[in-house]
Amino acid sequence: GESVGLHLPTLSVQEGDNSIINCAYSNSASDYFIWYKQESGKGPQFIIDIRSNMDKRQGQRVTVLLNKTVKHLSLQIAATQPGDSAVYFCAEIISGGYNKLIFGAGTRLAVHP
């Protein structure tokens, strides 16, 4: 049969609006979380990280929220721009040893003018 690609959830937003990308993580022992952005033809690029002793962290135009009770992570992008169009991955880490990253499937963000 014909092979199919991985179907990523897509978030479509208007330029200038705020975007919220959500991620559910799997392991309650995870204590470090990272958001990556991957543009077409490039490797994942670090955006922001947060440790489990925090519930919010802000960067430039981005905010990460962590809810350990329900094992949920979100990335908020303010005033979304066309250059923000990409696939966004969350990754969880259980500290210790070499710190293995476990990646989510990703969400595609499409920004429309």
Partner 1 sequence: ETGVTQTPRHLVMGMTNKKSLKCEQHLGHNAMYWYKQSAKKPLELMFVYSLEERVENNSVPSRFSPECPNSSHLFLHLHTLQPEDSALYLCASSQGGQKQFFGPGTRLTVL
- Positions touching partner 1 (CB under 8 A) are 3-6, 32, 34, 36, 41-46, 49, 89, 93, 95-101, 103-106
Q: Which is nearer to partner 1, 13 or 22 (CB)?
A: 22
Task: Report the nearest approach of partner 1 to the CB of residue 93 (Å).
Answer: 7
CB of 16 to partner 1, least distance (A): 29
| Dihedral of alpha carbons 56, 14, 82, 85, sign | positive
- C-beta of 41 vs 83, nearer to partner 1: 41
Which lies closer to partner 1 via its Cβ, residue 13 or residue 38?
38
Cβ atoms 77, 85 nearer than 8 A: no
Q: Which residues of 2-27 are buried (b: 16+ CB within 10 A; e: fewer)?
A: eeeeeeeeebebeeeeebebebebee
